[in-house]
Amino acid sequence: MTFKGISVGEHTLVVRGEAGEFRQVIALGAGDVNVVTVSFAGSSVEAGKLKLEIEAQGPSGEYAAASADVYVDGAQLSSDAVTAPISLRAGIAHEVRVQKAGLQEQHFTVQIKVGETMVRPVRLAWIGGKIAITSEPSGAEVTVNGRRVGVTPTNVAELDTQRVARISFRLTGYQSVTKSVSFERGAEQALEVRLAVGKDVKDAREGDSVEVAEKPEKTEKPEKTDKTEKNTKNAVAQ
């Protein structure tokens, strides 16, 4: 169970169950993150703290401080866990998982002593984003961020998960299509596109034959001259 948006100050956590009642006073400061393990065996709970120093590797291979999703004993913590020490019950093992899209997850177990502040470096290696690309019909030429990668179906790997991938499809006899794919929901994505029959003139390549209907020319009527009008009057008078 995760509680968010709790105000700064002292709070009393009370949990009642068949085995009894658990009660603990928690003092929260600005940006604090606390993980509480409920136990009905003792009257008080002693704790220590865990501080995570997270670094993420970029496409160039260099590591830099970064934010990430942090889970402790299955509960997701807020982004403040990156900088604020996490309060954990001492004397028992805690499962920690750190993950970020496009990076290798880290799983480890910690056991903290009473009053201890454990500093744990976490390095997330870059693995890049992956996209499985298909189209209906298949055989369409695919470009990703301006680079030709093959024809559908195809898979593209080692993409920068920090930017949106722009994927274009082109197939003779069908309209060209461009789609955007982000990696906010994970490093592995899938894209399927149904191509429409036809082709816009603006999408035609150099050398393509494009038929354009020509407008019929207007037939202009001959203008009457003064001489024509004079001859017509004379003929009527005779």
CATH number for position 166: 2.60.40.1120
Residue 209 lies in a domain: no
Residues 65-113 pLDDT 10s: 998 889 998 888 876 656 788 889 899 999 999 998 788 899 999 999 9
Top-confidence residue, 102 or 44: 102
Residue 154 lies in a domain: yes
Range of the domain at 74: 9-124
The HSE-up count of residue 186 (CA atoms within 13 Å, CB side) is: 5
* Residue where a domain terminates, one of 108, 124, 140: 124
The DSSP symbol for 82 reads G
**Are 13 and 120 found together in one domain?**
yes
Using alpha carbons only, what angle is made at residue 191 by residues 187 and 195, rounded to the nearest 5 degrees?
165
Per-residue model confidence (pLDDT) at position 10 = 76
- Give the full edge-to-edge strand order of the sheet including 75-76: 75-76, 69-72, 93-99, 106-111
**What Cα–Cα distance (Å) separates residue 161 from each residue in 68, 125, 204?**
13, 13, 32
**Are 78 and 143 found together in one domain?**
no
**Are 88 and 143 found together in one domain?**
no
**Are 193 and 116 found together in one domain?**
no
Chain position carrying tokens 């920068």: 160
Is 174 in a helix, a strand, or coil? strand
Residue 19 lies in a domain: yes
How many distinct structural domains can be found in the chain? 2
Chain position carrying tokens 């093992």: 93
Per-residue model confidence (pLDDT) at position 81 = 57
Residue 22 lies in a domain: yes
Per-residue model confidence (pLDDT) at position 204 = 41
E-state strands within the chain: 9-17, 20-28, 33-34, 47-57, 63-65, 69-72, 75-76, 86-89, 93-99, 106-111, 117-124, 129-136, 141-144, 147-151, 154-159, 165-170, 177-181, 188-194
